[in-house]
Chains A and B, each alone.
Chain A
Amino acid sequence: MTGTEQVAAPEEPGAAPLKVESPIREAWRMFLRNGSAIAGLVLLIGVILVTFIGPQVYPVDPFEIVWAPLTPPGVDASIPFGTDYLGRDVLAGIIHGGRATLAVGASAAILTVLIGIVVGALAGFYGGFVDEILMRLTEFFQVLPPLLFAMVLVALFTPTLTTVAVAIGVVSWTQTARLTRAEFLKLKQLEYVTAARAIGSRNGRIIWRVILPNALPPLIVSATLIIGVAILFEAGLSFLGLSDPNVMSWGLMIGSSRSYIIDSWWAVTLPGAAIFITVLSVSLIGDGLNDALNPKLRER
């Protein structure tokens, strides 16, 4: 320890933040430096624009029969992506079907993360008996193949967008719970947690206001990737016919054209490409966030 540091220490309290870059801003800067993350962000913005503004620009009803069935793309300028086995416009389906896919994906991801964080935080913070019970529960859920379990849940209840989102949330929270638990186990031993205890903070406050904010970086990365997983789930369920048949979605398009793969490749591969691009954009962003929020990787 040299003397210079001690001279520098007693500065004006307000002066310090001026020089130090806030961690969020620093992470953002790291994120922007990552080429593939930017590509992901641009792709995602594109997908969102198409999904939310597209229907106004291209107001064709995706359920309406507009042309002869199984018309390939390029036959007529009014149906650039062709028609499916019923003669419905594939492009209209892609543009109008994104909303349901994204909405189910996002709400399922939120539910997944919420359950995961609550279970993981309680297990990690309290340890002992609580931890034992919650971790056994997590192990139990990990034993059930997620898609099959979600299929059973959706099949037992009526297939609506809500059921699908809830089912996805119920089957896929285990990983978040394990991650949160690990972070809590690590963080609860640190000084500022002891300090918070020493000044008499309640457990609830320590869990949600003291530890959780510090555990967020890895959780944000994982949550981003979970959005992708949830979208894939929704698509998988719809492909199997387990989604609301009255709401157009990308998975539904693929699922309903399943028997016509050879006759109308466009009706299955194009909505599939939409799912792929969306999930890819989210994965790229997740990768970029991982590099930006994980200081250990920064040197590479």
Chain B
Amino acid sequence: MKIAAIIAQRLFYAAILILAVLVLNFLLLHLAPGDPAEVIAGEMGGATQEMMAEIRAAYGLDQPLHVQLGIYLGRALQGDLGQSFFYNAPVVGLILGRLGATILLVVTSLTFAVVIGTLLGVLAARKPTGLFSNVITVLSLVGYSAPVFWTGIILVIVFAWVFPIFPISGMSDIRLAGGGIEHVLDVAHHLVLPAFTLGVIYLAQYSRLSRASMLEVLGADYIRTARAKGLSESVVVGKHALRNAILPIVTIAGLQFGGLISGAVLVETVFSWPGLGTLALDAILGRDYPTILGILFFSAVIVIVANLLTDLCYRLVDPRIRSGGHK
């Protein structure tokens, strides 16, 4: 199958998944106990009779269910996920305002985890029974078992008291909000602790994974071939082995995007990072259901896009499935 055809097929699946998430949102609105209009308005919205009537009319709540679904989907496809009565603003606008912060956090953490984790794993694989290798194994177990918010809180305490060099709250300093390079550096400075907290769990997992994967690859016949060509050890490991060992890491990195966003919710809460996670928490505390469901929708879209990109990446790295088409 041609690459273009594969991409078209993947895009089609992605579109269906996005539609399915919308249907799920609709179902959740109706499954929740109580009148859907009340759910949409939210308890804290101070909904008046006129507002309720307005909502009923807008969503066609007196019509049969399938008509309501049609109306809901129609509005959603036009970019209308409803009105937040808690913030008194359109949900999509609210979310788009926060989306960048979450993506920045998630992508930075993932990059940090993949790059450093792979590096550590490769180093550990060169001496599989050495001290460093054992340290990696223990660290990955600790990273896996520690609640991410707990790690974050410990970092907050450490950096608030012991080494006050990194900001522990927010995304930027209000005094520097002017823009330009100073602002970028300021955001980067604020990003260090949250990204590290979120990345460190995955760092532990990737180092263990890449260690195992590297050990397997280093025993392969083609590594012996590479050595028999007279290549130096750094080329054998860095080119011939790494390129193969990285394949499972790419797969896992794609699969973990949903987990990463989940972790981001907790990390954002700990560090007051103004992303989707903090918005979700505020929305839940304010019983602002349209916003909550909108966030669920947008985060699912992030995962779908991430999966698409991973799929393409994998095809670029592994020629065997580049033309194969089937998983």
Give A contacts to B, CB under 8 Å: 139-140, 142-149, 151-153, 155-158, 228, 232, 235-236, 239-242, 254, 258, 261-262, 265, 268-269, 272-273, 275-276, 279-280, 282-284, 287
B177 interface residue per 8 A CB criterion: no
- Other than the given A144-B258, A144-B299, 16 more pairs (CB < 8 A) read A142-B255, A142-B303, A143-B17, A145-B299, A145-B300, A149-B296, A151-B292, A153-B28, A156-B39, A158-B33, A236-B147, A239-B149, A258-B269, A269-B157, A272-B154, A279-B144
Structural contact, A152 and B147, CB atoms closer than 8 A: no
Question: A273–B20 Cα gap in the complex (Å)?
Answer: 39
Given A146-B262, A157-B33, A280-B145, decide whether A140 and B20 contact each other with a Cβ distance below 8 A: yes
Which residue of chain B has the shortest Cβ distance to A154 in the bound complex? B284
Taken together as a complex, chains A and B put the C-alpha atoms of A172 and B49 apart, in Å, by 40
Q: From known contacts A140-B20, A157-B33, A235-B147, infer whether A262 and B258 are also in contact, taking CB-CB under 8 Å.
A: no
Tell me how far the C-beta of B98 lies from the nearest C-beta in chain A, rounded to whole angstroms: 13
Min distance, Cβ B47 to any Cβ of chain A, angstroms:
17
On whether the beta carbons of A148 and B262 are closer than 8 Å, the reply is: yes
Asked if B147 contacts A275 (CB within 8 A), the reply is: yes
Measured CB to CB, the closest approach of chain A to B37, in angstroms, equals 15
A217 to B100, CA, bound (A): 43
Max chain B C-beta neighbours (<10 A), residue from A147, A149, A261: A147
Contacts of B20 in A (CB 8 A): 140
Instruction: Tell me if B119 is interfacial: C-beta within 8 Å of chain A.
Output: no
A236 engages B266 (CB within 8 Å): yes
- Residues of chain B within 8 A of A228, CB atoms compared: 144-145
Most A-side CB within 10 Å, residue of B261, B262, B263: B262
How far is B150's CA from A280's CA once the two chains are assembled, in angstroms? Answer: 14
Knowing A146-B258, A149-B296, A262-B157, say if A275 contacts B17 (CB, 8 Å).
no
Cβ of B259 under 8 Å from chain A = yes
Nearest 5 A-B pairs (CB), nearest first?
A147-B262, A272-B150, A145-B261, A280-B145, A156-B32
A142 to B285 alpha-carbon distance, docked (Å) = 26
Taking a contact as CB atoms under 8 Å apart, the answer to whether A276 and B269 are in contact is no
On chain A, the residues within 8 Å of B285 by CB distance are 241
Q: Are A276 and B147 in contact (CB under 8 A)?
A: yes
Q: Is the CB of B292 within 8 A of A143?
A: no
Residues of A within 8 A of B33 (CB): 156-158
In the complex, chain B residues whose CB is within 8 Å of the CB of A235: 147, 149
A143 touches B304 (CB 8 A): yes
CA A157 – CA B20 in complex, angstroms? 22
Contacting residues, chain A, for B281 (C-beta < 8 A): 151, 240-241
A143 and B31 in contact, given A148-B265, A276-B146, A287-B141 (Cβ under 8 angstroms): no
Question: Nearest Cβ in chain A — how far from B14, in angstroms?
Answer: 9
Q: Which of A146, A157, A239, A265 contacts B32 (CB 8 A)?
A: A157
A148 partner residues in chain B, CB cutoff 8 A: 261-262, 265, 280, 295-296, 299
Q: Let me know if B157 and A265 touch, CB within 8 A.
A: yes
Chain A residues, Cβ within 8 Å of B160 = 261-262
| A272-B145 CB under 8 A given contacts A145-B259, A156-B31 | no
A152 and B28 form a contact (CB under 8 A): yes
B229-265 interface code vs A (CB 8 A; 1 in, 0 out): 0000000000000000000000000010011011101
Name the residue among A142, A143, A228, A261 with the largest chain B CB count within 10 angstroms: A143
Query: Nearest Cβ distance between residue B267 and chain A, in whole angstroms?
Result: 11
Bound together, the chains give a CA A152 to CA B265 distance in angstroms of 13
B146:A261 contact, CB within 8 angstroms: no
Residues of A within 8 A of B292 (CB): 151-152, 155
What are the residues of chain B within 8 A of A268 when measuring CB–CB? Answer: 150, 153
* Contacts known (A156-B28, A262-B160, A283-B141); A254 close to B150, Cβ less than 8 A: yes
Tell me, rounded to whole Å, the shortest Cβ–Cβ distance linking A158 to chain B: 8
A232 touches B147 (CB 8 A): yes
Contact A145 B153 (CB under 8 A): no
Residues of A within 8 A of B261 (CB): 145, 147-148
* A245–B58 alpha-carbon span in the complex (Å): 36
User: How far does the Cβ of A287 sit from chain B's closest Cβ, in whole Å?
Assistant: 7
